[in-house]
Amino acid sequence: MILNNKRGLEISPFSAYSHPLMENRFLTLLAFILCFWAITAHAAEEENNTQLPVPRFVTLNADEVNLRTGPGLRYPVELVLKKDGLPVEIVKEFDVWRQIADKDGDKGWVHKSMLSGKRSVIVTGPAQTLYKKPDDGAKPVVKLEPGVIAGLDRCDREWCYLKIASYRGWIKRKNVWGVLPDEKFTK
């Protein structure tokens, strides 16, 4: 039942909640809350977005790193990687968590503090020669066994310049793991 009062306003059983001035204040407050929520949500997203490409390679920053089944401490540890400087590939990001994959394809989530931007590679295949210059005919520097981890200095189209102990030299990029196929890398 709706009646009109002396001012011409409609009166209903819900009139205490539907006064025109109250509706405008409510809508204004609701609009303000929604705008505030959208701005803070966007700011939080910007804060956690690294703006770095995914996938990308990094290295472990600790001797022991727990790989978890999900992005958070509440997820169980599935695997422990035990090698500081080991190259890994970031395949996903969520907040401060990174899903990484190792050379063998094992994946798990780690906190970003467990990773370093330093670059290294793992020698693959049979023993590989490190050359003085980026040329198969160049003077050999040292033979590297499969699984050796070396610091990555730079890569061009076909060759990568590595540092390992007191040795420096070039190796074919197809013989290392830790560089994306078309990545041009300079330290």
Rounded to whole angstroms, the Cα distance separating 173 from 2 reads 81
Greater model confidence, 24 or 88: 88
The CATH topology of domain 56-117 is: SH3 type barrels. (2.30.30)
Residues 6+ apart with CB under 8 A from 94: 71, 109
156 neighbors 134 (Cβ within 8 angstroms): yes
The CATH topology of domain 121-186 is: SH3 type barrels. (2.30.30)
DSSP letter string, 66-98: EEESSSSTTSPEEEEE--TT-EEEEEEEETTEE
Least confident range from 35-49, 88-102, 143-157, 168-182: namely: 35-49
Look at residue 50 in the predicted model and tell me its pLDDT: 73
Look at residue 23 in the predicted model and tell me its pLDDT: 59
Across residues 155-163, what is the average pLDDT? 96
Structure confidence by residue, pLDDT tens digits, 45-78: 444 567 899 999 999 999 999 999 999 999 999 9
150 neighbors 121 (Cβ within 8 angstroms): yes
Show the CA angle centred on residue 9, arms to residues 7 and 10, nearest 5°: 145
Across residues 124-137, what is the average pLDDT? 97
Q: Which of 159, 160, 164 is closest to 143 using CA atoms?
A: 164
